[in-house]
Each structure stands twice: as structure tokens, then as C-alpha cells.
């Protein structure tokens, strides 16, 4: 530790200076004597050395204490095993339902300019099973991607062949997919809804059908969960369409003529002449929110749709195949009237070839595609654009 320093004033008086001070004043003559700065630095350095020694001692002491603490922790006995739960509590836990299975993949983004929902149902293992509906769905997906420029990740497929439980065409999943399709729709959006499976009719209970019958789609679990009727389809797919957004529905099912409950039905004769017919009773609005909805159905409400092996060598929906073929062969920017005539001609030709088969029983009336719309338009002037 630094000691006091004796300093002599000019008057001859001796003074004692404290360590670390730079000057001292004489009490007799009041003269201020400056002390050497080197002595001050030496005193400050000594203090820093002393502090360093003290810090080293503390660290050494802590290092000696750590092994002792570890030995004390290791010497402690292990915690006692958890108490056994009461038998009744264990039974309650075992009775709880298992957690829901995780979905294998999320839904695609609903905000692409082009997006589609495609449903194909063969009802495998059922007495009313169909052939070719899943094939129809795959053909439609290929057509939309390769011919119409739809991104593959903007198409939501629902078939029995899908691995994800979210992609099985149950009533819940089809409802969810329809909501996804129109969610946040905007001007210049092109939306497609394709369904290949069973369709049917049932009694209309709200009085909005001219014929007293609601049209319906049959999900995979319709026996337990019920069908999806046209009132719900219209409310979900049609009503939310905003100005500039367009929905095309292609329905390959029986009794599907007005399954979207669109107010205007295009009645076309074989010579190409057509006229519009109002479908709804007027009690409930069935139009859009400014957008456009057009549906191409396999047949009228009272008819059964057809499927034939003439097109591809295996059973396929006549509606799906004739639609895809008509768009491919019609050339650039065909009109709706041109497409309808091509589709009807292809189906008539296929039925004619089948009729030459001795084992084939021709139906009394050949079902032909039906066009319905949210508004009337000139089908021979309006271009078909997806």
C-alpha cells in the first residue's frame, strides 16, 4: 500500500502529502507546491494491481467451490417414482378419442388468377359404383394444365385415389373445396369446378324450383352425411362471384341440368337454333355479385348422363370427353355456340356407333349437354375463354 510523502515548502516548513495527490498547500505561507506526476501515476498503478490480485483470489475461490457443489448434487437421492393414478382416472384417459390425423398436405393458395376444383367419384365397393369418373377427373386436370395454362399447384383434386384424407371427395371436403375455389375472387379470375359422379333429384322444400325438384350431387359419404343440393351449390359457388370474375362448371352427372341453380337455361335444337328460358321462381336471387357463372351439364334435370367406351376404348364420361375434345378441335377463341354444337355432334356420333353393336341397348332419348348461365348472352358471339 502507498505511504505518505514528506514535502518541504519554500518557507522551510515540512508537510506530509497524502498518496495520489498532485499538489499541497502550506498552512504557514499558503504556497501551493506541485508534486511530481510520476508519483501520482505510480500510486494509481499500485491500486490497479491490488484490485487485480483481489479478483484473481475470488475466481480461485469459486473454482474450488464448483467440484464440491457437483459432488453434493450427485450425492442427492433420485426423485421418487410418480404416484400411480387411480384406476378410474386411467380408464377416463384411455376412453378419450385419439387426436385427429395430420393432413398430409395443405390446400393450395386460393389467390391464383386461374384455379380449379376437380371431383371424381367411382364409389368403389358400392352396389352403385361407376366406371371412369376418376379417369375423367385426371383427364380434366391434364387438359387444364397443358391446354389452358392452369398451374398444377392451383388445382385441387378430390378422388378416392388421393393419399391425403383432405382430398377424399366426402361431403365435408367438397364443401370446403368449393369455398376455397371462390375465396377472395377478383376481377379477371378464371375458376373451374368439375364434377364426375352420381347426381340425383329430391323434393324442393323452399319453393324456388319451377319443377318442384332440387338437383343434387352425391359425395362419397352421401348415405350417412347426405347430398349437396343445388341451393347450397349456388350460394357457395355463384353468389360470391364479383365483377370481372368468371366461373365455369362442367358437371358430368345424371339430373345435372340446373345443379348450379343458375337462372337462365339455354335450350338448343339440333339445327343450332336456341332460346333462353328462365328457370327460377323468382322468390330467391340466384345470380352473382357482379361476376359471371356458366355451367355445362351432361344432361337435363330429368335425364341420365351417358358414358361410353367409344371415345377412349374404356368407360369415360361422354360429357367430360366431348367437352375436352371440342375445345381442342374448335380452334382459337371458339364461341359457346360452336362448342355446344361440336359436343352434341360428338355424342351423337358415339351413340350411333354404339347402336350398331348387337349387344347394345340404345336409350329412348340421347342425353345432350345443357348450358345454363347467371345471365343471358349471345352464344354465337361470345367467346369461350378459360
Among residues 9, 26, 119, 254, the one annotated as catalytic is: 254
Q: What is the mean pLDDT of the chain?
A: 82
Asked if 338 is an active-site residue, the reply is no
Percentage of the residues of the chain whose pLDDT score is greater than 70: 75
* Domains, the chain, ordered by start: 114-355+365-373 (3.40.50.12660)
Low-confidence winner among 87-91, 193-197, 212-216 (lowest mean pLDDT): 87-91
User: Residue 140: its pLDDT value, please?
Assistant: 97
Asked if 133 is an active-site residue, the reply is no
pLDDT in tens, 83-134: 555 555 655 555 555 554 443 455 665 556 999 999 999 999 999 999 999 9
Among residues 119, 194, 198, 344, the one annotated as catalytic is: 198
pLDDT in tens, 372-381: 999 999 999 9
User: Residue 31: its pLDDT value, please?
Assistant: 76
| Whether the Cβ atoms of residue 44 and residue 20 lie closer than 8 Å to each other | yes
Which of the four pLDDT bands, split at 50, 70 and 90, describes residue 331?
confident
Amino acid at each position: 500500500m502507498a505511504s505518505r510523502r514528506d514535502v518541504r515548502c519554500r518557507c522551510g516548513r515540512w508537510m506530509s502529502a497524502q498518496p495520489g495527490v498532485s499538489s499541497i498547500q502550506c498552512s504557514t505561507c499558503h504556497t501551493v507546491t506541485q508534486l511530481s506526476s510520476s508519483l501520482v501515476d505510480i500510486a494509481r498503478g499500485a491500486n490497479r494491481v491490488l484490485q487485480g490480485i483481489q479478483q484473481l483470489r475470488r475466481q480461485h475461490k469459486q473454482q474450488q467451490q464448483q467440484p464440491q457443489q457437483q459432488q453434493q448434487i450427485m450425492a442427492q437421492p433420485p426423485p421418487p417414482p410418480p404416484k400411480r393414478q387411480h384406476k378410474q382416472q386411467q380408464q377416463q384417459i384411455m376412453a378419450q378419442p385419439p387426436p385427429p390425423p395430420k393432413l398430409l398436405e395443405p390446400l393450395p393458395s386460393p389467390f391464383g388468377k386461374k384455379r380449379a376444383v376437380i371431383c371424381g367419384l367411382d364409389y368403389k365397393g358400392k352396389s352403385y359404383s361407376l366406371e371412369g369418373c376418376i379417369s375423367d377427373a385426371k383427364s380434366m386436370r391434364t387438359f387444364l394444365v397443358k391446354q389452358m395454362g392452369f398451374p398444377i399447384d392451383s388445382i385441387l383434386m378430390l378422388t378416392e385415389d388421393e393419399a391425403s384424407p383432405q382430398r377424399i371427395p366426402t361431403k365435408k371436403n367438397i364443401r370446403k373445396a368449393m369455398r376455397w375455389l371462390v375465396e377472395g375472387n377478383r376481377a379477371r379470375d378464371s375458376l373451374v369446378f368439375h364434377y364426375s359422379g352420381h347426381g340425383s333429384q329430391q323434393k324442393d322444400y323452399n319453393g324456388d324450383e319451377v319443377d318442384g325438384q332440387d338437383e343434387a350431387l352425391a359425395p362419397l359419404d352421401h348415405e350417412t352425411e347426405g347430398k349437396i343440393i343445388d341451393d347450397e351449390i349456388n350460394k357457395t359457388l355463384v353468389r360470391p362471384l364479383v365483377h370481372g370474375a368468371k366461373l365455369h362448371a362442367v358437371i358430368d352427372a345424371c339430373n345435372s341440368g340446373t345443379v348450379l341453380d343458375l337462372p337462365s337455361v339455354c335450350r338448343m335444337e339440333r339445327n343450332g337454333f336456341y332460346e333462353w328460358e328462365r328457370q327460377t321462381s323468382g322468390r330467391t336471387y340466384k345470380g352473382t355479385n357482379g361476376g359471371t357463372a356458366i355451367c355445362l351439364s351432361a344432361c337435363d334435370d330429368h335425364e341420365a348422363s351417358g358414358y361410353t367406351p367409344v371415345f377412349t376404348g374404356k368407360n369415360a364420361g361422354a360429357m367430360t370427353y366431348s367437352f375436352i375434345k371440342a375445345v381442342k378441335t374448335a380452334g382459337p377463341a371458339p364461341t359457346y355456340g360452336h362448342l355446344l354444337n361440336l359436343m352434341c355432334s360428338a355424342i351423337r356420333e358415339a351413340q350411333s356407333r354404339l347402336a350398331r353393336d348387337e349387344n347394345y341397348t340404345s336409350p329412348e332419348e340421347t342425353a345432350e349437354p345443357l348450358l345454363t348461365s347467371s345471365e343471358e348472352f349471345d352464344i354465337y358471339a361470345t367467346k369461350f375463354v378459360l
